[in-house]
Amino acid sequence: MSAVMSRPAVMDVAVLGAGVMGSTAALFLARQGRRVALIDRKAIFREASGVNAGTLTLNMTRAALVPHALKGREMWLEARSWLGRDVGAVATPGLSLAFTEAECALLEERAAARREMGAPISVVGAARALEVEPGLNTTVRAAAYCPLDGFIPAYGVGRGYCLALCEAGVEIMENSAVDGIARAGGHYEIVSAGQVIARARSIVLAGGAWLERMMAWLGLRMRVKCLVNQLVVTERLPPVMGSVVSIANGLLSLKQFVNGTVVMGGGWQGRGHVDTGETSVIPANLVGNVRLASFTIPRLSEARIARIWLGFESETDDAMPAIGPIPGWENAFVIGCVHSGFTSGPYMGRLLAQAMDGQAVDLKAFDPARLLLSLPSAHKGFCS
């Protein structure tokens, strides 16, 4: 490396974090004509946005998020119109099942809460559930049926984004672990390993599970809860199911992708910590998840498990996103940390870009100010 590094040009916006939230914001900001740098400590879409279960479900989405998830789902299904390419999103019906009396009651309660927020969910009997999904265990008692569900092979989505971002002129800076931000004159300086790697008039913090640490750079404390979700995928199978299936308590998410593999999820936890990035499987949780899956779709008992992986899912204290200006810092914005963030990600990323463009969008419910704790804190993880 040369001893004298030229100072990077001042960009309009530096987006920190190249997952779905940051990348979508970067894309729409660039299309507004801004010069955008998109920076990530690793490669694009390699954390939660690339390793999540790719769900487009409403049954499993928190009720308060249903209106946003509906819009996100639409965007994924129509990716060609705004991303310029298909990302393999598939629309299917969705079912949330009850096998016990207690689950029937829970099902009614959860369906009602989501219906109120605009999800077209109705509770149906076993016969109708088996008509929608003939692969189900016939002992099913009732199901919350939602015609609007679906899935995306999340691991490949980053490729579409990478191409679209390049076309829009976004400067993608991968493998650039940022360790601080400084205010210098009228702009921000982004520092990595003691070097200023980018300068920009505005910044967007979009670090997902790492957002708590990013906010700390600005002396602010925002608590980010971090789940370590364990996911399981089978080898390719002949068709065993055609819908997205969950159960009333939310501990199962099952779908068969176009290539025949079945992904089993449902928020079963593994071990991990965001500071080290290290994760490990908890075998007992794997057994629980696999039992639930093969009970629900009995033909899964014939499958073999090809791979288990883990990813960090981040949530704010109220599981609603933080989207908007960062209090006390000029031209600084934050986005992320919402439950099922991948589903609503494109919608929320575009929303921030519109807000930064001065368009009239309502971000009140997402105001980051509500999440700020009074005192700045030392870096501390919440995953263990």
Partner 1 sequence: MTRRPDVVVAGGGVAGVMAAITARRHGLAVTLVDDNATPGGQVFREPSAFARTVTPPDHERREGDRLRELLRRSGVRVLSGWGIWSVQPGYRLDLSNDFAVQVLEAGSLVAATGAVERFFPFAGWTDPAVMGLAGASLLMRAGGVLPGRRTLVAGAGPLLFSVAHQVLDAGGEVVAIVDTATRTQWAARAATLALDPARLKTGVAWMARLARAGIPVLGGAVIRQARRGEDDLDVTIGSVRGGAPVRSVRCDAIACGYGLKPSLGLTRMLKARHVFDEAAGYWHPHADPFGRTDVAGLYVTGDGAGVRGAQMARLRGILTGHGLAFDHGRIDAATLAHLARPLLRAMRRLEVVSRAMTSLMNPRPAIMKEAEMHAPDTLMCRCERVSIAAGGQAIRDGAGDMNQFKAWTRCGMGPCQGRMCEDSARQLLARHTARAPTEVGAFTQRLPLRPVPVRALSGNFAYADIVLPQAAPP
Binding site for partner 1 (CB under 8 A): 43-46, 50, 60, 62-63, 99-100, 106, 109-110, 113, 139, 155-156, 158-159, 162-163, 166, 172, 174-175, 234-236, 249-251, 259, 267-269, 280-281, 283-288, 290-295, 300-309, 319
* Sign of the torsion formed by the C-alpha atoms of 273, 274, 277 and 279: positive
Residue with tokens 């986005």: 335
What SS3 class is residue 73? Answer: helix
Nearer to partner 1, 62 or 350 (CB): 62
- The span from the first CA to the last CA of the chain, in angstroms, equals 39
Nearer to partner 1, 56 or 111 (CB): 111
Nearer to partner 1, 302 or 330 (CB): 302
Residue 143: CB minimum distance to partner 1, A: 16
Nearer to partner 1, 110 or 199 (CB): 110
Of the candidates 372, 360, 320, which has an alpha carbon nearest to the alpha carbon of residue 212? Answer: 372
Residue 378: CB minimum distance to partner 1, A: 27
Separation CA 236–CA 52 (nearest Å): 19
Other C-beta atoms within 10 Å of 376: how many? Answer: 12
Nearer to partner 1, 11 or 292 (CB): 292
Radius of gyration of the chain (CA): 21
Residue 224: CB minimum distance to partner 1, A: 17
Report CA-CA distances (Å) from 294 to 100, 245, 312.
Answer: 17, 12, 25
Residue 8: CB minimum distance to partner 1, A: 20
Nearer to partner 1, 154 or 206 (CB): 154
Residue 25: CB minimum distance to partner 1, A: 19
Nearer to partner 1, 3 or 284 (CB): 284
- DSSP label of 227: E
Nearer to partner 1, 177 or 184 (CB): 177
Report residue 109 as tokens. Answer: 């309660």
Residue 201: CB minimum distance to partner 1, A: 26
Residue 12: CB minimum distance to partner 1, A: 22
Please state whether beta strands 90-98 and 244-247 pair in parallel, antiparallel, or not at all (unpaired).
parallel
CB 74 within 8 A of CB 350: no
Query: Which H or E element spans position 247?
Result: strand 244-247
Separation CA 323–CA 354 (nearest Å): 12
Residue 181: CB minimum distance to partner 1, A: 25
Q: At residue 162, what are phi and psi to the nearest 5 degrees?
A: -55, -45
CB 382 within 8 A of CB 225: yes
